[in-house]
Structure formats: structure tokens, C-alpha cells
Structure 1
């Protein structure tokens, strides 16, 4: 099964055809509009099998799947944490889509904390387990330092309790904050790279993980997609 996670930076109703070229089974998309509120009939057709939550009708988190993929929304309270979509896929594994977007004045340190809080809230529910996949725009990069960096390592430790690792770092043998490949370029400038997007899974569950090419994807968004198979 092929999965793509991508922060599309808005206007997904005009961009979904680009990400569809990856021919994935599941797309976890951040900053996308609500298909049910869209006037684009082709976007609605693409989103025939989806779940969505968001800030408003034009910006949110969505999980979109092929029609032959069975997705069941898991009933987990978010307690105001933003944004998480927990689903059961093909009655085989759990998938948690993430777009951290905390509603707080001091946002930078809070991004990884949102994930830690969600984990603590549901770690005993049975949803979190070593067979699950977590992916999305975490807005987390240890090179931001100070409290944010400490919260990144806390998040990593907490998810590690379930046997989950950051797949990029596991495959590349790179440390948090020392990534050689970026997933985000501030203002789309190549001299402002960050590694904000992440995929967590059990070691060896994902054999390869690809980050999209800057030349192709920066014309659409300030984020690059992460593409992997399980």
C-alpha cells in the first residue's frame, strides 16, 4: 500500500491532480479545503472516500483514499487539540493523520506538545500500537532549539513507548535537527530549509521513504510530499 503525506499550502481543489500522479492508495493532506463545501466537482469525485477536519471550509486536514480502501473513523476525542484524524484501514492497521496547528499565542514550542498531549490522552485506548502509521505536517524541527527542541525529543520518546520511530531518521541514520533533506522551505527559498513533516512507524515496517523534488513541488507549495509504502 502506497501512502503520501503533503501540506499542499491551500487550493488543493486545484492541485489534487498533481499529487494523484503518485498513484497512491491513501493521501494525507494538510491545508486542504473541505470537499463537501467545494464547487469543484472533480475534487468531490476525487474525495469520494475521505475524512476531513479543519479551521474553516478552505483550510484543514484530510485523508483521501481510493474507493477500494476501507477507512473507518475511530471515535477518539481530540479535546481541542488540532488537528488529528484517526482511522482504521482495511481492518488491518491504524493510521493517524496529523496537522499540528495549536490555537495558542506561543505556537512554536506547542507544536510537538500537541502530539504528546494527544498520545497521552489516547495511549491506553488501543489505537496506539506498534502496527500503526502516524504521518503528516508535525511542524516539528529540533533545529528550532530551546523549548521546541525539548518538546520534539519528548514527543519522540513518548511515541517510542509504542515501538514507533521516525522513519526518515531511522532509514537515514540522521539525528533530529541534523537532517540532510528538508521537507519545507520557508517562503519557498532554498536557503531556508526545515524538516517539519514526519512519518512514524515500527522499525522496518517502511523499507523506503521518498521526499519529493524541490524543482517539481515548490511551484505548488512550500512543503514537499513524503511518499512511502507499507
Structure 2
């Protein structure tokens, strides 16, 4: 199974989403993208502005069902039931900066609010977190990035990139975001957290190159390929 997240940096769905085709994602979370013309059990979209929202897309063999959101959950941490060869609950993430609980604080709060879903299901948390351990001091200690990683670890989840690459949070070699589209301003802020047992089955975790994606977005896609026993992925 191939899991992908990419912030498209605005644009129409029919134009931007096909850019991921070469990556062959089974499940993709795409931020900052306009609403598609129609939603199906393989294409979901969430947002207040139809030109700028969060999409979750499944390939053949998988289907999606939005779960009822809890009240007062900060935007955007969206629970979606994924059905297919390996069913799981996906939290599609795009944290924002203009709300009271901004960025990593919002996601940490949402993880706490949705504790019951973590306890009862296999869970993947994937998307644009807008956070990194190097900014821990900018947030309350209990709601910073390192605290979030610890929260997810307690729930049996680990970052596929960091587990597979054996890199520490805050010391990532490959950035997923270039501030102001500038190669000299790299940051790693997009993640795919998977169950511990899945992380050990990771075949690859790839990040798009600066050159290969520089005309498409200020973010780079992160793709984790997991060789799950019942998966139909090659």
C-alpha cells in the first residue's frame, strides 16, 4: 500500500491532483486544493472555501467514508474510514495558523479528543502538520512537536519517514517544504504516522526533490510504501 501526502499550494483539483499519478498512491491526502466537481466514495473534500481545502483520494480497491467530526476539533484533522485490503482509520491533516489552537497545538488537541478512535482501530495520521521539533520552544511544552510524537508513540504510531530513515525529529535530511519557494529555506513539516507494525514493513519512504517539483508547489510529496501482507500494492 502506498500512502502519500502533498500540499498542492493552491489550484484546481483536476489540474493539481493528476501530478501525483506518477507516484501511484493508494491513499493520498492533498492540502490547499480546490474542491472537485463531485465527491464519491473515492474522492472526499473538506473545507470552508471551495478554492482551498483538504482532499482525500483513494485508488481502485479502496473506498472512503467520512466519520462524524467531534465538535470543537481544531481545523483540519479529519477522520476517514478507509475500506480495502487493509482497513484503517485515516486522520487527514492540514493544520492552520490563524486559529486559537494553531499548527501543532491543534493536532495535539485533536489527537486527545479522538482518543477513542485510536484505541479501537488501526490508525494512520498523515498530512501537513506545519510543525517540526526544531520549533518546540515556540509552543507550550505539552503541545509542541516532540510532545505530539510522544503522544502518538503512546498510541502505537511512529513516523514512517523517521523510522525507515533512522533520523531524529528536527534533524531531517530531506525537507518537504521550501519557505517562499526558496531552496535555501528548507523545512520538514509533512508526515505519515503509521502503526508500529506497519513501519517495520516499509519498503521505501520517498520525498520529492526540489528540482522535480519546484514548478508545482512549495511542498514536496512524501510517499510511504508499506508491504502489508494483505495489500494489493506491488
State the TM bucket, normalised to the shorter chain.
0.7 to 0.9
**Cα-Cα RMSD:** 2.2
Matched, 1:113 2:105: yes
> Which residue is equivalent to 2:18?
17
Conserved in 1, the CA contact under 8 Å of 2:35 and 2:52? yes
1:59-74 pair list within 5 angstroms: 59-74=52-67
Deviation at 1:103, TM superposition (A): 3.4
Superimposed CA distance per residue, residues 27-86 of structure 1 (whole angstroms, 9 cap, x where no aligned partner): 1100011114xxxxxxx59x7722211140100111011253121212231514101221
- Post-superposition offset of 1:102: 4.3
User: For residue 157 of structure 2, what is the aligned residue in structure 1?
Assistant: 164
Pick closer, same or farther for the CA change 1:134–1:145 going to 2, 3 Å.
Answer: closer
Instruction: Spell out the pairing of 1:39-188 with structure 2 (5 A cutoff).
Output: 44=38, 49-90=42-83, 92-104=87-99, 110-123=102-115, 125-128=116-119, 131-148=122-139, 150=141, 151-188=144-181
1:31 to 2:32 alignment: yes
Q: 1:78 to 1:166 in 2, by over 3 A?
A: farther
Q: CA deviation at 1:209?
A: 0.8
* 2:222 counterpart of 1:226: yes
The count of corresponding residues between Structure 1 and Structure 2 is 218
Q: Residue 145 of structure 1: CA displacement?
A: 4.3
Farther off after superposition, 143-152 or 214-223: 143-152
Distance 1:149 1:172 in 2: 28
Partners of 1:167 and 1:81 lie apart in 2 by 24
How many Å separate the matches in 1 of 2:173 and 2:23?
23
Q: Identify the residue that residue 39 of structure 1 maps to in structure 2.
A: none
Structure 1: segments with no counterpart, 5+ residues: 37-43
TM-score normalized with structure 2 length? 0.84
TM-score between the two structures when normalised by the length of structure 1? 0.86
Distance (whole Å) between structure 2 residues aligned to residue 201 and residue 80 of structure 1:
21
